Amino acid sequence: MLKIKTILTLALLFSIFQVYGQENTQSPYSMFGIGLLNSKGFDMNNAMGGTGIGLRKGNKINLLNPASFTSQDTMSFLFDVGVSGTFSNYKSSSAEQNFFAGNIDHIALGFPVTKWWKSAIALTPYSSMGYDFTVKETDKKIFQYAGNIEYQYIGKGNINTLYFGNAFKLTENISVGVGVNYVFGTLKKSYNMRFVDNTNSNGFDDTFKDIKYHISDFAFEFGAQYSGGDKKLSYTLGATIATNSKLSVKQDEFFRIERFTSKGAINIIDTITFFEDKKTNYKVPLTFGVGGSVNFNKKLLVAADFRYSQYDSDNVLFNQNNNVKQNDSWYTGIGLEYTPNYIAPKGYYKRINYRLGGFVEKTPYNINNTDIYKYGLTVGLGLPSRYSKTSYNISAQFGVFGTQDNRNIEEKFAKITLSINFHDIWFIKRKYD
């Protein structure tokens, strides 16, 4: 019965996956490149400081290293679905704004092919774009007097990933994996310059530019893990590499000159640029990662990760302004999970997974000669079901993104993720009903 419910739930979630089209960020930093990149980690990873390269757990789907799939039980089927909500406070030297967004976080399946070959399929967000802000200035240099000018910047859209990963157990201790990502979605950016004091006789015309990027292509990643130790102390070492694939981009652009009438209507004066399906590309950063974990007596699990990404400075979607530079980035995180007694016959609290972690990230953004950092603390719980292997998970991330220094913007955020991890036994024919 659980298998039937799982399949029906999966079909329903895939049918409503259009919710990914909703705007789920309001960060000005999302205007660069293809938006803010989302973490590929699920509940355990998020609650443990974003770690996962060196993690192996038989009841979890860990997309941070495809080699980890071989830890799954040979006869088990995993189905993981999560939703998340983020509250953000954006603050600059002159303004402040609050924003909340909720969305599906992930849908994933994990299943065995053979004893030495395990696979996973997932649908996850790759990046998010969402911003809407206006910059005002007064200019008296253009043709003697231009008056008040408003520059409006608007962007929205999401890029998603359909993921297919496979892991192979080469020896008792060594596993390797490969992940194929089909990246797809649409981003829309608008730029509008308006002369607020404009009249039909002063000769100043407004401009409007609308750009759409349609992205669809494949990106690849590889991973390896080595595990050793015994029941009292076991460990795992891992490494990953994501290739700098070129994502195919089709660009539509419409740039026109217009004028607002006294009644608020728009008169189009002229079209400067108009084209559709102009082909270009966006280079995914080449990313290396290493990580490890140590498990003490199957009670305390400690993990640490480090990832380094090399960005291409010639990415056409990134170079927006002279005061913005794109640099290499890095991420480091540490986390732990404590389980008093995962097989305790009594005392439910003893089987709960208690998770804690922290992370620091140097993002690829350098704005006004200032490197932009992101850092935070993470916590979470893994709540096992009383009557099955299904678990319910909650994770929270609290942190700061950016700074108010040098005319930049600081974001304080709190992200909560809820997920259900179905763990069932498949491929066994019951002898008795």
Homologous superfamily (CATH) for 2-425: Outer membrane protein transport protein (OMPP1/FadL/TodX) (2.40.160.60)
Is 391:385 a contact under the CB 8 Å cutoff?
yes
Mean pLDDT to the nearest integer, 404-408 = 87
Answering whether pTM is above 0.85, one says: yes
- Sorted by where each begins, the domain ranges of the chain are 2-425
Long-range contacts of the stretch 385-392 (C-beta < 8 A, 24+) = 386/348, 388/2, 388/423, 388/424, 389/59, 389/423, 389/424, 390/420, 390/421, 390/422, 390/423, 391/59, 391/353, 391/420, 391/421, 391/423, 392/418, 392/419, 392/420, 392/421
| pLDDT per residue as tens digits for the range 205-255 | 788 889 999 999 999 999 999 999 998 999 999 999 999 888 999 999 988
pLDDT of residue 265: 58
Distance between CA atoms of residues 291 and 270, nearest Å: 56
| pLDDT per residue as tens digits for the range 30-84 | 888 888 989 899 999 999 999 999 999 988 999 999 999 999 888 788 999 999 9
Percent pLDDT > 90 in the chain is 51
Is 350:382 a contact under the CB 8 Å cutoff?
no
